[in-house]
Chains A and B, each alone.
Chain A
Amino acid sequence: MVHALEKIHRLIKPGGCLIDIHPSGEPPSLEVQAGTRVTLAGWLHESDDYVEYGYADEALARVVESGLFRVERQGTFEFVMRADSLADLRAFLAEGWEDASIDDRAAASIEELMGGPEQDKEVLLREVVRIVRLRPVPVRQSGAAQASAGDQGRESETFEDDS
């Protein structure tokens, strides 16, 4: 990953930027929405991807520490996946997210909530995703930048969805 970031650094023009988007590592929540009411049913279990994303975070931290990039802004947003049933959500996970699982307790809670009398119910999988804007530091400056840039002047925020 560090080598990939070094290559990306070379490809970006001076003054350009790198945007990194990946899950924050917080366990995604399983919810049921009935009308406007959203009820927490449990948490998704994840055995591999989040470990890998942790390594990605470490690689980003290393290239910032070495002065190759400077973190300019970072925040989070919520990425919500919606299914009409627990079976549909499980089919989705089986197809593209094999190391994710829904335990029996959460599944029972979802089924109970989905069995309610309300119309228009959905199963929600809500994930917190991190977004970071990094500026490449020119190589000839990166030594000095290592001591001075670091995390200085960066913004941190939660991206608000104003829709």
Chain B
Amino acid sequence: MQVRRLSHNQNMPVRLDSEDSETKALLDFVGSFAGKRVLEIGCGDGRLTWRYAKHAARVVAIDPDEDEIRVALEDRPHDVRVEFRAVGIEDFDAPDSVFDTAILSWTL
């Protein structure tokens, strides 16, 4: 469950993290995304997803909010492959031990 929405919508009246502090912290803590399979939980509209996905081998990004996933799919850059799913972690179906990195993104 994500309690607050941080959208990357360009029409939004507020600019989020222009300093890119979040991405820098994420890259610093993960080390390298190269060759990694990543599961992002609470991806919302992909605001954070786009900032690291191009470095990873595969990204599955989930969020129970169908509207947010729809926006993410509409805004998806052509050169970045991310599998978005409108599902919460409780109902997410995947085999055990398939992801190198899981990211809980502003999620409860």
Contacts and interface: CB of A to CB of B under 8 A. Distances in A.
A11 B97 contact: yes
B24 A22 contact: no
Interface in A33-83: 48-49, 52-53, 55-56, 73, 75, 77-83
A144 interface: no
A78 B13 CA distance: 20
A98 B15 CA distance: 18
Q: In which size bucket is the chain A interface? A: 35 or more
A48 B2 CA distance: 12
Interface residues of B, number: 43
Interface stretch (A87-95, A109-117, A145-153): A87-95
Contact of A79 (B13, B21, B29, B94): B21
Given A8-B89, A131-B29, A13 B100 contact: yes
Contact of B98 (A1, A13, A97, A163): A13
B30 A4 contact: no
A26 interface: no
Across chains A and B, which 8 residue pairs bring their CB atoms closest together, nearest first?
A88-B13, A96-B5, A92-B14, A77-B25, A20-B104, A159-B25, A82-B15, A77-B21
7 contacts: A7-B90, A7-B92, A18-B104, A19-B102, A21-B48, A81-B14, A97-B5
